[in-house]
Amino acid sequence: MLSRYLILSLFILVFAACDDEQALPALDDVAAPSELSLKLVMAVESPGQLTITPGGRGVTLFTVDFGDGSDSEELQVGEAAEHQYAQGNYTLGLIGMGINGKTTTFSQDIVVAATPPRNLAVNIGPTAGNPLSINVSATAEFASGFAAYFGETADETPTPIATGQTISYAYAAPGDYDVRVVALSEGMETNLEFTQTVTITDGSTAVSLPLDFENTNTTYAWAGFGGATPELIDNPDVSENNGSARVVQLNKGSGSEVWAGTALLLDSPVDFSVSDKIYVNVWSPRASVPILLKVETAASADVFVEVIANTTVANAWEQVEFDFSAAGDLSIDYRNMVIFFDFGTAGMNENFYFDDISLSSDGGGGGGGAVIDLPLDFQNAEATYTFGAFGRCGIEVLDNPDASGINTSSRVAGLTRDNGSEVWAGVFIDVDEAIDFSGGQSVRLKVWSPVAGANVGLKLENPDNPNQFVEVYVPTTGANAWEELVYDMSGIEALPNIRRIVIIGNNTAPGSGETYYFDDIRL
């Protein structure tokens, strides 16, 4: 210790010789070290073996007192000490010395347990309603808790997780992130840890229900088996019951297996809490064809639920309902979707088509009657989309004027702001049932704007009480192209009877006769 203080004193004398009038007062003005800390990592393989790394601002030298009667140890900035403890309670001391000899002290109590954590298991999954968010939970024998690092920032402060607790973390942007969870022993981090890379998307290209195959930026990786061949193609029968541009063709080749079919792994599980029925728009060359719809876990094809339903018409689109209410445990994470056409019969080189897989009967692209509900895509030719307008604004459902990019659907809604209209001019439509926000409070809206930076408003309200609402504005990022805007409607789940959807074209300036188009309003 004496030698280090001697070196420091010599340094001060030399520095003073350079400028005796200014250097010494400048050193005296330097504040003492601050923000001292101790990072402690317990070795699981050797209980009581600690790696101790001191930290702080304005420190040139650390002195660590291990608190067990052994000699203190001096550490340079960035160095760590290894120390073996017996079982018990200890108080570690830390002295941080600055360039001018000023010091700051810090202490931390620790408990060294006899049994280190073991058998760490971590569960990482998506957060319902928010594609940018994940849920994380962890378990381990003899752990006092866990520390989670989500990989979004360089100097990340760990997020604590209690045993039995599930926490959610929302990322600011899509990307690949390394999630690291560390088991704690009496509050100290150990070297028992788990790391997993997660891919976060904004949801615009996610493969999840409802599926309508209209997003040309999304990869729908249907895999055939048993002699069946799937292919995403242009709709061969654009008609009243299905005006979609793209559908899936499944060719069941001659002599193919009786169980031939196709499968698709979803990015998020089927949320049977929303509905215990799945609807599929299908086209079959024959009536009374049995279709088996099966959903499995991603980990095992042996964990599944399945339902068989029959077609009723030939050479026409129809919506087929698959009722899973009595199929088994619907709380499991099912995300592998499997479809078998003409199940039980060998293939005869026939083409079957399917589209619009949804948990809602009105999400089937035209085959579900006249119900108005989310998701709202304006494809149902039987439905009457009754809008109201305010602030000198017009609205109509019309053919998509720019079927490209993320929106190739055939029909959309066009909102025209009259010349000189109010900045708050907009339109509204009421859905038939109160919106169920139990799965999340994030709403998505595809928008085509003639200008970039248009501040597009989405307001959800109770039509019987206009004081009950949540209103959010999101700016467009481009012009003359479709993009998807995401609205965080947090708090909306506490309000009753939310059935009115209000859209405001651009509240930054009065109207100039321009038209905004919107489509695919969905949770």
List pLDDT tens digits, range 399-423: 999 988 888 888 899 999 988 888 8
What are the structural domains, with CATH classification, of the chain?
31-112 (2.60.40.10), 118-200 (2.60.40.10), 223-363 (2.60.120.260), 387-522 (2.60.120.260)
Sort 17 into a burial class: Cβ within 10 Å, 0-12 / 13-18 / 19+: exposed
Q: Which two tokens stand for residue 7?
A: 């070196």
Query: Which residue has better confidence, 438 or 303?
Result: 303
User: Which pLDDT score is estimated for 362?
Assistant: 62
Asked whether residue 163 carries a pLDDT value surpassing 90, the answer given is: no
* Residue 202: band (very low, low, confident or very high) from pLDDT cuts 50, 70, 90: low
Asked whether residue 15 carries a pLDDT value surpassing 90, the answer given is: no
- Residue 403: which residues within 8 A CB-CB, separation 6 or more? 245, 409, 410
Over residues 178-199, mean pLDDT: 91
Three-class secondary structure of residue 72 per DSSP: coil
Place of tokens 């481009």: 478
Three-class secondary structure of residue 319 per DSSP: strand
Strand stretches in 331-420, DSSP E:
334-341, 350-358, 387-390, 393-399, 411-417
Longest dimension (CA), the chain: 101
- Whether 180 and 214 have beta carbons less than 8 Å apart is answered as no
Asked whether residue 178 carries a pLDDT value surpassing 50, the answer given is: yes
Asked whether residue 24 carries a pLDDT value surpassing 60, the answer given is: no
Q: Residue 213 to residues 21, 49, 182, 210, 375: CA-CA distances in angstroms?
A: 77, 56, 40, 9, 14
Q: Which two tokens stand for residue 260?
A: 């031939």
Phi, psi of 479 (to 5 degrees): -130, 145
pTM summary value: 0.44
Asked whether residue 451 carries a pLDDT value surpassing 80, the answer given is: yes
Q: 223-262, pLDDT tens digit by residue?
A: 999 999 999 999 999 988 888 889 999 999 999 999 999 9
Q: In what order do the strands lie in the sheet with 167-170?
A: 118-127, 130-141, 167-170
User: Which pLDDT score is estimated for 187?
Assistant: 79
User: Which pLDDT score is estimated for 90?
Assistant: 92
- Strands 34-42 vs 188-200: parallel, antiparallel or unpaired: parallel
Q: 46-100, pLDDT tens digit by residue?
A: 778 889 999 999 999 999 999 999 999 999 999 999 999 888 889 999 999 999 9
* Residue 3: band (very low, low, confident or very high) from pLDDT cuts 50, 70, 90: very low
The amino acid at 95: I
- What is the C-alpha to C-alpha distance for residues 276 and 296, in angstroms, rounded to an integer? 15
Phi, psi of 494 (to 5 degrees): -85, -10
The amino acid at 305: V
Asked whether residue 466 carries a pLDDT value surpassing 80, the answer given is: no
Over residues 350-379, mean pLDDT: 74
Asked whether residue 424 carries a pLDDT value surpassing 60, the answer given is: yes
- What is the C-alpha to C-alpha distance for residues 312 and 60, in angstroms, rounded to an integer? 82
Mean pLDDT of the chain, nearest integer: 87
Asked whether residue 14 carries a pLDDT value surpassing 60, the answer given is: no
Over residues 473-494, mean pLDDT: 91
